[in-house]
Amino acid sequence: MGSKIVKMQRYKDAKTQRSFPKMEHFLASIPILVIFLFTSPGQAQIMPNIPEATLAAARQAVVNKNVPSSEVIRVGIGTQNFGTYQYKNITIFGTGDTQIYDNKLLIGNYEPNQEISISYKDGKFSIYTPGNIFPEEVDGPVQITSNFGLLGVSGLKRAGKQALYHGAFELTPNSNGTFNLVNMIEVEDYLKGVVPNEMPVRFGLEALKAQTVAARNYALSPRIKSSPNYDLVDSVASQVYFGANTEKELSNQAVEETEGIVAIYDWDLILAQYSSTAGGYTESFSNAFSDPKTKEFPSHEKPYLKAKPDIIGQTALNKEEDAANYYKSKPDAYDIRSPYFRWEREWSAEELKNALETTLVSQSATGFVHPAFKKGDKLDNLVELKVIRRGDSGKIIEMEVITRSQKYKIFKELVVRRLLTKDGKALPSANVVFDNIQDEYGNLISVHAYGGGFGHGVGMSQYGAGFMGSEMHIPYDKILQHYYTGVTLSTKPVIVSTDTGQQSVTQHFYAKDKKAKIIIDNKFGVNNLTVDINGVKQSFELPKEMLGFKRYSEIDISKYIKKGRNTITFTSPEFFESSARKGVRLYVELVPKREYGWID
């Protein structure tokens, strides 16, 4: 009974005309079929079958913009030090007026900075606020918004500061009696909390723009989710996302001046891999990563993630002598400013043996050590570390640990790095050559390692991007096209069709110059395309060939766009006049593919 009284009082206190559309804004990816109208204090009336146009108009009036569902992502927020993503209780607050919803039904509106404690037990959320004798008990999921403010979790810090977040929170129950804290947020706001935490802002605007596009690709790419409740997490397991309190002016500028831009290859968003330092030569994807499903290694090629030297004319480093000459020297390279551009490690034979008896056990669990080394197994006297196969960058693909009576094969760069630890720390990279120092009887005395780079070395080198942008004044698009072979910079490819939800698609994009084309895949023979560009409608007849419609075509829209932020909406009148299922696939091309990288 007490719970009902509290609930009624909260309805009376709620500022009902401003909170609901705000919630709609951040639940754009969830169809909402009802609108709540407060007919009298303490009563909420659910009105079914409200036309979608009415809901859209309400959202537009309050939020002042429409947000396509594809631009809202769900980020799992971890505890301090990312120990877990599962909670049993939590205390949240908003820096502005804060609203709480039970499965999208408003149940309370609270003052700024008021702490609200929420726990989960026996399938119910209990919501505690100061001054209330009884907690509010709801089934959930629980959503929290803060009008004109940010959301926080009491005691949760990121980068040494109280963590604050744009968007909305959702507390989503799990089957094991816990819940996840999910930040529902627009992609562009999410990126502002990612970019300065993935790349030092001192690397400069162009490098930050390149990082932004790579991070946007990651956020928007389909993936196998670690949880059904969120798309990605806020740690290095996905991308480092520390929220609004870590934003920087220059990185925000980088996000704004690349809005809506992704890197694609053959109509698909690329897997925009990046690492700290490549060491002067990036590696092919297939030589560094195994297939996530089959565990096959080397894996299948990705044509845009090819091994590439920074300096034209540098020969491949897949031979032992070439790799040794390269990593024992400091040639010119884009990431030469990195403290890990070149590094060395050394072990005594006994030190290395002791380390390997531990790491061989843990790395055998990956399936990339043959034969497997079990807990309690012992190594005989070491003879050498022998590299069997290298990638074009000199990265180890296969190596052997050889003792007097044993031989263990090790595959894959991450396994190699974690196998060969020094003082408990993994090697910075697998771009490494070994000098095995032996006595006159062939016994190993010590091993000296010479290496270059930090991380997997596939795709963009962050230190390389920083050097290219700040010291060579190379723009971000050319940085990207150096590291990702044959890519196009564009809006995300979309489908406009007769299907519900695809009849009209709106995209926002930033154009650094007034050049843009619409690229069209007209597989089903659509006659024309209607496009609204910055508020002006244009109709384009799609080209035909002798035997029918041209499958692939382009429309130059340069004269209709402006430098800076643009908005484009794709529709076609014929879709609504015909019962036939038709559609086109398209995107806005801003930087075309370059066959030979960034060099014009």
Between CA 212 and CA 67 the distance in angstroms is 20
Tokens of 332: 């010119």
Take residue 240 and report the two structure tokens written for it.
Answer: 């480092």
Q: Are 533 and 594 in contact (CB under 8 A)?
A: no
The two structure tokens encoding residue 261: 């831009």
Burial of 226 (0-12, 13-18, 19+ CB in 10 A): middle
What is the rounded CA–CA span in Å between residue 122 and residue 128?
A: 16
Q: DSSP secondary-structure letter at 185?
A: E
d(Cα 345, Cα 322) in Å, to the nearest integer? 20
* Domains of the chain in sequence order: 1-190 (no CATH), 191-262+460-483 (no CATH), 263-459 (no CATH), 491-591 (2.60.120.260)
Residue whose token pair is 């004269």: 559
Q: Are 479 and 598 in contact (CB under 8 A)?
A: yes
pLDDT of 573 reads 61
- Report pLDDT for 564: 95
Rounded Cα distance between 99 and 113, Å, is: 12
For strands 494-497 and 444-451, give the pairing: unpaired
DSSP assignment letter at 77: P
Q: Cα–Cα distances in Å, from 53 out to 50, 59, 74, 159? A: 8, 10, 25, 43
Give average pLDDT by consecutive 10-residue segment, the chain, 600 residues.
36 34 45 29 28 33 40 94 95 95 90 94 91 85 93 96 96 95 96 98 98 96 86 94 97 98 97 96 97 91 96 95 97 97 98 97 97 96 96 98 97 98 97 96 94 98 98 97 97 89 90 94 88 93 82 95 95 61 90 70
How much is the pLDDT for 544?
87
Kindly tell me the burial class for residue 64, based on how many C-beta atoms sit within 10 Å of its own C-beta (0-12, 13-18, 19 or more): exposed
State the pairing for strand pair 124-128/343-348. Answer: unpaired
Q: Is 522 helix (H, G, I), strand (E, B) or coil?
A: coil
Q: What is the pLDDT of residue 71?
A: 81
Phi/psi at 282 (5° precision): -80, 165
Instruction: Give the list of residues 6+ apart from residue 17 with CB closer than 8 angstroms, or none.
Output: none
103: DSSP letter:
T
pTM greater than 0.75 (yes/no): yes
Quote the Cα angle for 63-25-244, to 5°: 90
pLDDT of residue 62: 29
**Rounded CA separation 342/431 (Å):** 10
Helix axes 205-220, 249-256, angle to 10 degrees: 60
Q: Would you state the structure tokens that stand for residue 529, as one six-digit string?
A: 């395309």
